[in-house]
Amino acid sequence: MTQSEDKHIQKEALDLISAATHDLKAPIALIKGLNDLMSAGKLSKKKHDQYIARISMSLVQMERTLETIEKVNDVIVDQQQMALVPISINEIISSVASQLEPKAKEYDQKLVLKAGHKSYVVLSNRHILENAIYSLVDNAIKYSLPSSEILIRPSKSSKKGYARLTIRDKTMGVRKSDWNRVMDTLGKIDSPNPAHAGDSGLGLFATVRLVQSLNGIVGVKPVHGGSSFFIELPIAQQLNLQLVD
Amino acid sequence: MKVLIIEDDKMLAEMYRDGFEAAGHEAINAHGAQDALNKLDKTEVDLILLDLILPGRSGVEVIHELSSYKDWQNIPIILMTDNHPSTFKIADKDLAKYSVRKIIFKQKTTPTEVVKLAEGIASESI
């Protein structure tokens, strides 16, 4: 490894730490705070049960963050090569949606899968892809307005040989500076100066890095009253096998 | 005491509201800057608990906006952040100028401590 490559990996590792730290702060503050209120012993049973559920949810979130750190670390530090196999995007989004539905409900949001009848099979790695999609949907839940819908839709990409997964949310309005930050995160993974790629949390940073390791692309565009993130991945080619007599 | 809690994380916002209500105070939540300003238009509050990072307008922009209205410029503010307060280079006189009485680090301050801090600040303001 050259000195320049080594330096680049060190910078990416620092970004990973920065992004992960950002994502661990909120659940830690919540667990600590709820524990403080529970210790006072003045809660109704309903409130007590709600706090226990929220603490459990925060612990799951922290476990997920640690898993994501490990996976991104494999990609950026160890430069691990992924074993890619044909995988149905529809199956992965169903799995992610069922995992995140309780969280969406807590935030008074609804996950809407618009999968249709067509199943898109991409060449990918199940764990990595699931982690990447989970991070994007989780981000959409965190930043969407209450009582809003988050649309998740697989489709064929305009890029030949690629499938697209779109996640559309309704947010409180994104300022130009925030868009610049998001675009910066999307664009700076290979930049020589990734000083603040982790500022928007692990979600986007992890998604970009993980999807890149699957030979895919992550993009975003502002839509009326929100944002539309997308992942594009190569469709698994069907082999034309012929039976030989 | 009536407190306006401006925090976009719904679960943290509810947690602080529960803390104030358990101590016998009234608390209302606002999930962003515009929501907060709408609520301030309709109700008088004794103190504002304000998250520094908000979607849309930031906490700092909210502080500037509040300071430009005569009715709101003297409402004491507790500013909350995910980053350690030592990372802020804001002089005390500048904080006071904008009615910011204290900056707290969310992970290091429990709801009970926030309530006690708010009670102290509100009693000084009377």
Neighbours of A16 (CB within 10 A): 24
**Range B76-87 average pLDDT:** 79
Residue type, B79: L
Measured in whole angstroms, how far is the alpha carbon of residue B67 from the centre of its chain?
A: 14
Q: Is A60 on the interface with B (CB under 8 A)?
A: no
β-strand partners of A187: none
Distance from CA of B85 to the nearest CA of A (A): 14
Q: Is A40 on the interface with B (CB under 8 A)?
A: yes
Over residues A16-52, the pLDDT tens digits come to 787 788 788 889 999 999 999 999 888 899 999 999 9
Distance from CA of B16 to the nearest CA of A (A): 8
> Distance (Å, rounded) from C-alpha A69 to C-alpha B44?
45
Sheet bearing B77-81, strands edge to edge: B26-30, B2-6, B47-51, B77-81, B100-105
Using an 8 Å CB-CB cutoff, list chain B residues near A106: 10-11
Domain B2-125 has CATH 3.40.50.720: no
Residue A14, φ and ψ in degrees, nearest 5: -65, -40
Nearest CB among A29, A54, A173 relative to B107 is that of: A29
CA angle B122/B125/B126 to nearest 5° reads 95
Judge whether residue A172 has pLDDT over 70: no
| CB burial readout A24-49, b (16+ within 10 A) else e | bbbbebbbbbbebbeeeeebeeebee
Nearest CB among A25, A42, A107 relative to B107 is that of: A25
Residue A109, φ and ψ in degrees, nearest 5: -125, 165
Confidence band for A79, pLDDT divided at 50, 70 and 90 = low
| A205 or A112, which is more confident | A112
ipTM over 0.85: yes
Which pLDDT score is estimated for A222?
A: 77
Neighbours of A185 (CB within 10 A): 25
Q: CA A139, A140, A145, A150: dihedral to nearest 10 degrees?
A: -160
Over residues A80-121, the pLDDT tens digits come to 566 788 999 999 999 999 999 988 988 888 999 987 778 889
Indicate the average pLDDT of chain A. Answer: 80
| A48 or A135, which is more confident | A48
Q: Is A162 on the interface with B (CB under 8 A)?
A: no
Q: C-alpha distances in angstroms, A61 versus A1, A212, B6, B110?
A: 35, 23, 23, 20
Contact between A40 and B31 using a beta-carbon 8 Å cutoff: no
Using an 8 Å CB-CB cutoff, list chain A residues near B15: 30, 33-34, 37
Q: Is A85 on the interface with B (CB under 8 A)?
A: no
> Distance (Å, rounded) from C-alpha A239 to C-alpha B10?
49
Using an 8 Å CB-CB cutoff, list chain A residues near B57: 175
Using an 8 Å CB-CB cutoff, list chain B residues near A42: 22
Structure tokens, A87 = 């995988």
Structure tokens, A123 = 């060449």
Chain A's closest residue to B9, CA to CA, is A142
Which pLDDT score is estimated for A181?
A: 60
Does the pTM surpass 0.90? The reply is no
> Distance (Å, rounded) from C-alpha B122 to C-alpha B75?
9
- Comparing CA positions, the residue from A1, A58, A50 lying closest to residue A26 is A58
Distance from CA of B120 to the nearest CA of A (A): 19
Judge whether residue A241 has pLDDT over 80: no
> Distance (Å, rounded) from C-alpha A58 to C-alpha A63?
9
Domain assignments of chain B as residue spans, ordered by start: 2-125
Residues B25/B45, Cβ–Cβ less than 8 Å:
no
Judge whether residue A197 has pLDDT over 50: no
For strand B2-6 and strand A226-234, is the pairing parallel, antiparallel, or unpaired?
A: unpaired
Residue A42, φ and ψ in degrees, nearest 5: -105, 15
Q: Is B95 on the interface with A (CB under 8 A)?
A: no
